[in-house]
Amino acid sequence: MKTKGKTTTDHISPAGPWLRYRGHLDKISDNMLLGASNAFTGETGKGTNPLTGATGQPLTKIARELKAAGRRWMIVGDENYGEGSSREHAAMSPRYLGCVAVLVRSFARIHETNLKKQGVLPLTFGNPADYERFDQNDRITISGLHALEPGKPVTVIVKKPDGRVEEIQVRHSLTREQIAWFRAGSALNAGAAVDPSTGAKVEMHDVKLDPRDTKAKPGKDV
């Protein structure tokens, strides 16, 4: 999915009558990206299913079918993605439906942090103009995540339908602690003892912390 223009938390996870389902993640996830503008078709909340080629399908239906097929997917977004409220369902629902990364021109800070806590990889373009290089039916690979480190760029490989391959350099703002969240699947999953360098679960007495692994609170260096 590639969104165009303003994509607020209310576009990603609309409120209103949906709030009565906020305690039921599966049900409220039916509103995911309901208000987002599809950059490829101009439709709102709908797109083309890459598994079947069917057009005009609700994005939630597409996401559920991709998840059921074991296919990971990502969101490409525009500027200040996730602005608005601090609504956590705007990060929880994409994760629940199988989203593994969100790549945008820029993030609203609180939403970026919420994605990190949910174990969804938030990425920004090194060159914002690279947003235009993503076309419908592209297949995306995020390379080198086994070597993910604070401040180290990430390579995104874009395979075009005609077989051409393009590489794009993107950035992340994860700390070592937040990288451990990503590798564990979420901050909550990382509540177990986890090696910050690998994300692997370990016994507490085996944990060896670097000073950079200790934070006063998520996203803030001591």
Residues 118 and 222 in one domain: no
Q: Report the distance separating Cα 203 and Cα 197, nearest Å.
A: 15
CATH number at residue 51: 3.20.19.10
123 domain residue, yes or no: yes
Q: Which of 69, 96, 128 is the last residue of a domain?
A: 128
User: How many structural domains does the chain have?
Assistant: 2
Cβ atoms 190, 184 nearer than 8 A: yes
Task: Indicate the angle between helix axes 89-96 and 109-117, nearest 10 degrees.
Answer: 40
pLDDT at 220 over 50: no
Average pLDDT over the chain, rounded to an integer? 89
Where in the sequence is the domain holding 213, given as residue range(s)? 175-222
Q: Contact at 8 Å (CB) between 18 and 25? A: no
Residues 121 and 52 in one domain: yes
Does the structure show a pLDDT above 80 at 113? yes
Are 30 and 103 part of one and the same domain? yes
Residues 195 and 97 in one domain: no
**Is 4 among the domain residues?**
no
The answer to whether 67 and 98 are in contact (CB under 8 A) is yes
| Same-domain check for residues 189 and 110 | no
Output DSSP code: residue 203.
-
Q: Residue 70 falls within a domain, yes or no? A: yes
In this predicted structure, the answer to whether residue 131 has a pLDDT above a threshold of 70 is: yes
Residue 188, pLDDT score = 85
Q: For residues 200 and 22, give the distance between their C-alpha atoms in angstroms, rounded to a whole number.
A: 31
By DSSP bridging, strand 73-77 and strand 220-221 are unpaired
Q: What is the pLDDT of residues 56-92, one digit of tens each?
A: 999 999 999 999 999 999 999 999 999 998 889 999 9
- Whether 32 is in a domain gets the answer yes
Q: What is the mean pLDDT of residues 193-218?
A: 58
Domain closes at, from 111, 128, 145 = 128
Determine what percent of the chain falls in helix, strand and coil, rounding each to the nearest 5. 30, 25, 45
In this structure, is residue 160 part of a structural domain? no
Same domain, yes or no: 119 and 35: yes
Instruction: Please state the φ and ψ torsions of residue 63, each to the nearest 5 degrees.
Output: -60, -40
Bridge partners of residue 76, in order along the sequence: 2, 103
The pTM of the full predicted model, rounded to 2 decimals, is: 0.84
Which residues, including other chains, have CB under 8 Å from residue 85's CB and lie 6 or more apart? Answer: 9, 10, 15
Residue 152, classified by CB atoms within 10 Å of its CB into exposed (0-12), middle (13-18) or buried (19+), is exposed
Give the per-residue pLDDT at 52. Answer: 95
Specify whether 115 is located in the same domain as 182: no
pLDDT in the model for residue 49: 95
Q: Quick check: is 152 in a domain?
A: no
101 & 27 share domain: yes
Quick one: 87 and 182 in the same domain? Answer: no
Question: What CA–CA distance (Å, rounded) separates 102 from 185?
Answer: 15
Q: Clarify whether residues 94 and 14 are in a common domain.
A: yes
Structure tokens, 64 = 């559920």
Structural domain ending residue among the three candidates 93, 112, 128: 128
For residue 135, give the amino acid letter: D
116 assigned to some structural domain: yes
Question: 15 and 110: one domain?
Answer: yes
211 part of a folded domain: yes
Residues 117 and 21 grouped into a single domain? yes
